[in-house]
Structure 1
Amino acid sequence: MKFFNVKTVMETLDLIANEYQPIRQPIEVPLIEALGMVNAFDIYSDEQVPHFSRSTVDGFAVRAMDTYGASESLPAFLSITGKVDMGRAATMKLREGQAQAIPTGGMVPEGADGVVMIEHVEELGDLLNVYRQIAPGENIIRAGDDVQSGEKVLAAGRKLRPQELGVLAAIGKTTVWVYPRPIVGILSTGDEIVPCEKQTLAAGEIRDINSMTVGAAAMQAGAEVVYGGIVADELDSFAIRAKELYDKVDFLILSGGSSVGTRDYSVQVLESLGSPGILVHGVSIKPGKPTILAKANGKPVMGLPGHPASALIIFHLFAGPIIEKLQGRKHESTDKRLTAKLSRNVPSAVGRTDYVRVGLEEREDGLWAVPVFGKSGLITTLVDSDGMVEIPASKEGILEGEFVKVHMFY
């Protein structure tokens, strides 16, 4: 089997980072619809959050210095001069020797610089016995502690999770500019492939697994999916169907037909879609070497291996980052892989990056990664896996008990 323009894993990832950008212009959407999308611009606050100092506990607003030295045996004595109502402004100024009842979230009155918890006081009419001293600022969130007016609260390229939406709601944003969800088209190829709903298979037929798994993974990565169906190994019909789907989507994925053979036309079809054409044909990786990556008039196009496990691993390694690029998402430097110990020796060939599927087990001495072995055509190996471990091209393998980083599946 021959390959041309073979790249390493890192070369392929660098190429993805440099070659692909969002295709469609940002759109403005209601905040409630933006979950999982990527904000297109830096977002600044026009106000401070909170806009008033508030209590974090139920208790009494006091001057911290009036509680100094207070203890169970020698309490401080303060006069109760009022009560702060929830959702209303605190209008009475607090003076020396005074206290005001305050609920959690209530506005701290002028003159107070701390709140003593209700568990540490005793009310005797208008007299308050304080049994614990507090420090200035204790049990208080000051105005602007969370967000300052003019502060950048979210940088462009951030995926909007529930917590990001909460921050935007806190500063009064009801809409946000985001990149549209990328539209990913999936076209399965092969004379032997039949729709998954076909109940009775003829000899030699295989149900279309990859459309389901790859499509679901694309949706999980934040894309919308258009299924192009199945096309036979015939060049003209393959090229026509691929072009029809290419025109409708932002990212075209061909499943199967990526190895070099007498009836594999993926390279010719991808080259026909636009320039510059093929960027990668073959990655020095196992599983998944027969991977094709192309760029056609700005759009990414990928040819995945036909074997289901290989296809899904390649999707996680390369198609996922492409979808992130199309969303305008910027990679974060934090390594989010899990660390675990490998449960057995795993050999590897120098010069090729290997990815070993693993299941995770929590044992008394920590987290262990247990290899799940099986041929790349077996989809059940992924069902039993939580993620995968990379064996770099420079290593001959990993020893039992060695700490490894686990790339978690979505």
Structure 2
Amino acid sequence: MQFFKVKTVEETFALIDEKIEKIKSVENRAIEDAMGYILAEDVTARENVPGFDRSTVDGYAVRAEDTYGSSESMPGFLTVTGEVRMGEAASIPVGFGEAVYVPTGGMLPAGSDSVMMIEHCEEIAGLLNTYRQVAPGENVIREGEDIRIGELVLAEGTRLRPQEVGALASLGITHVNVYRKLKAGYLSSGDEIVPFETQDLAIGQIRDINYFTIAGLANDWGVDVVYGGIVPDDYEEFQRRAKELFDEVDCLILSGGSSVGAKDYTTDVIQSLGGPGVFVHGISVKPGKPTILAMADGKPVIGLPGHPASAMIIFRLFGERVLKRLKGETLRPKADRIFARITKNIPSAPGRSDYIRVSLFEKEGEWWAEPIIGKSGLITTLVKSDGIVEIVSEKEGIAQGEYVPVIATR
């Protein structure tokens, strides 16, 4: 077969970054409806946040130098001249030897440079006893200290989480331009595959569970999935059904038929969908070597292995990168990895990246990873696992007690 020229993991990631371009379609959404979407433009601040000097605690606005030398055994004394109310401007300035009560978030009065917490002082009949000294700027946020006017707040490609939406709201921004939501199509292939709801299996039949694992991951990444059903090992039928689904979606995902067997039509079907065609057929990984990645008329196509564990791991590693590139999302390298100590020796073939399912547990303040050994067709290994240990191609295995990167799957 002219295809099936194995690529390394690093080569595959580089090819994905090179071949996959973000969608062009942009929509304007209210920020309350933009959660999980990807920004299609930079957002710069139109005002300072906060818009005034404010207190971070309940206490008294003072001049720091007036508190120097104060202690519980020898308190200082200041005259309380008034208070600042929430939502109102501070109208009473602080002069030498004076203090003004200010609540958390309240405006700092003119003349003051710090706030003494109420826990560290006591007001008695208009006289404030100070039991400790404060430094200039203590318990105060200055105007524009959080965000300054003209500053880049969120860059194009940022996924809008609750904190990003909160930042937009703090600037009074009500609508933003985002890339529209992606729609992926999923199609299973194989004479042995039957609908998951089939109760009585004939000998050799397998329920289609990959749709649920793959679609579930895609949904977690903010991508809608259209189920194209199951297609038998017939080239004409496979090609027709794949083309119908391909025309409806932004990315086509095919499960099964990615190896080199006589009935594996996936490569030919993908090539028929449009150019430039397949750019990866085979990745030097275990599990999941027979993986196909392609571009057809501007749309990515992903051919996954049929075994459930292989399909899920490959989609987690490479499908996510494909979809994030297509969504326009800025990639954060290895942001989903934690480090844990491995509980036993694991050998690995040099020149191949291995991904081992593990369960995680905490012991003496450290995370440990317990390998879940099992073949790629075993579903229970997925259920028991909390993550995947990555053994890079340069290594010949990992030793017990060694710290290893774990890709979280829960």
Shorter-chain TM-score: what band? over 0.9
Alignment-derived partner of residue 243 in structure 1:
243
Q: Residues 165-186 of structure 1, C-alpha deviation per residue, up to 9 Å, x if partnerless?
A: 1111111111111111211110
Q: In 1, distance between residues paired with 2:365 and 2:345?
A: 18
CA contact (8 A) 1:185 1:226 kept: yes
Secondary structure of the corresponding residue to residue 293 of structure 2 = strand
- Per-residue CA deviations over 1:63-86 (Å, capped at 9, x if unaligned) read 111111111122211111111111
Report the Cα offset of residue 49 of structure 1. 0.3
Aligned twin of 2:14: 14
The answer to whether the 8 A contact 1:295-1:301 is kept is: yes
Match for residue 181 of structure 2?
Answer: 181
**Partner AA of 2:290 in structure 1:** P
User: Aligned residue for 2:355?
Assistant: 355
Q: Please tell me whether residue 33 in structure 1 is matched to residue 33 in structure 2.
A: yes
Deviation of 1:3 (Å): 5.1
Q: Paired residue for 1:163? A: 163
Match of 1:116 in 2: 116
Deviations 1:235-273 (A, max 9, x none): 111101100100111110001111121211101100000
Does 207-216 or 93-102 show the bigger shift? Answer: 93-102
Structure 2 match to 1:276? 276
Residues 23 and 179, structure 2, Cα contact 8 Å, conserved in 1:
no
- 1:301 and 1:325 mapped to 2: Cα distance? 13
Q: Percent identity?
A: 56
Partner of 2:129: 129
Looking at structure 2, the residues matched to 319 and 275 of structure 1 have their Cα atoms a distance apart, in angstroms, of 20
SS of the residue 1:312 aligns to? helix
Report deviation, 1:366.
1.8
Name the SS for the 1:389 alignment partner. strand
1:395 maps to 2:395: yes
2:134 maps to amino acid: I
Change (3 A) 1:332 1:133: same
Q: Cα–Cα, structure 1 residues 125 and 365, in superposed 2: closer, same or farther, change >3 Å?
A: closer
Between Structure 1 and Structure 2, how many residues are aligned? 410
The answer to whether the 8 A contact 2:193-2:230 is kept is: yes
SS in 1 for 2:61: strand
Does residue 44 in structure 1 map to residue 44 in structure 2? yes
**Aligned residue in 1 for 2:65:** 65
Query: SS at the partner of 2:122?
Result: strand
CA shift digits 1:28-73 (9 cap, x unpaired): 1111122122111111000000001111111111111111111112
Distance change (3 Å), C-alpha of 1:333 and 1:199: closer
Provide the C-alpha distance between the structure 1 equivalents of 2:233 and 2:23, rounded to a whole number of angstroms.
Answer: 30
Question: Equivalents in 1 of 2:324, 2:173: separation in Å?
Answer: 24
2: distance between equivalents of 1:351 and 1:233? 33
Structure 2 CA distance for aligned equivalents of residues 277 and 44 of structure 1: 40
Q: Which runs of 4+ in 1 moved over 3 A?
A: 333-336
The alpha carbon displacement at 1:334 in A equals 6.4
Cα 1:364–1:2, aligned 2, differ >3 Å: closer, same or farther? farther
Q: What is the rounded CA distance, in whole Å, between the counterparts of 1:201 and 1:150 in structure 2? A: 64
Residues 3 and 166 of structure 1: is their aligned pair in 2 closer, same or farther, counting only changes over 3 Å?
same
- Partners of 1:306 and 1:343 lie apart in 2 by 30
Structure 2 gaps of 5+ residues are none
Match of 1:330 in 2: 330
Contact 2:341 2:367 in 1 (8 A): yes
Provide the residue aligned with 1:55 in structure 2: 55
Q: Quick check: 2:23–2:328 contact (8 Å CA) kept in 1?
A: no
Q: After superposition, where does 1:190-205 map in structure 2 within 5 Å?
A: 190-205=190-205
Deviation at 1:24, TM superposition (A): 3.4
Give deviations 1:119-149, integer Å, cap 9, x for gaps: 1112121211111111111111111110001
CA contact (8 A) 2:78 2:127 kept: yes
Q: What are the residue-to-residue correspondences of 1:280-359 with 2, within 5 Å? A: 280-333=280-333, 335-359=335-359
Measured in 2, the distance between the counterparts of 1:140 and 1:63 equals 12
- Residue pair 1:184, 1:250 contacting (<8 A) in 2 also: yes
Question: Which secondary structure state, in structure 2, belongs to the residue aligned with residue 311 of structure 1?
Answer: helix
Query: For residues 59 and 46 of structure 2, what CA distance do their matches in structure 1 show?
Result: 32
SS at 1:381's partner residue? helix
Residue 280 of structure 2: SS of its match in structure 1? strand
Offset of residue 365 of structure 1: 5.8
Q: What SS is found at the alignment partner of 2:110?
A: coil
User: Structure 1, unaligned stretches of length 5 or more?
Assistant: none
**Per-residue deviation, 1:327:** 1.2
- Contact 2:4/2:290 (8 A) holds in 1: no
Contact 1:342–1:369 at 8 Å: present in 2 too? yes
2-structure distance, mates of 1:338, 1:297: 38
Query: 1:407 and 2:410 equivalent?
Result: no
How far 1:333 moved relative to its partner? 4.6
Q: 1:210 — aligned with what? A: 210
Equivalent residue for 1:96? 96
Cα distance change of structure 1 residues 244 and 401 upon mapping to structure 2, 3 Å threshold = same
The alpha-carbon deviation at position 379 of structure 1 amounts to 1.3
Q: For residues 126 and 9 of structure 1, what CA distance do their matches in structure 2 show?
A: 71
Deviation at 1:332, TM superposition (A): 2.5
TM-score between both structures, scaled by the size of structure 1: 0.97
Residue equivalent to 2:172: 172
Q: Which residue matches 1:106? A: 106
Which of 290-299 and 2-11 deviates more? 2-11
Instruction: Return 306-315 or 92-101, whichever deviates more.
Output: 92-101
Give the partner amino acid of 2:240: I
Give the superposition deviation at 1:336. Answer: 4.2
Q: Could you say what secondary structure the match of 2:156 adopts?
A: coil
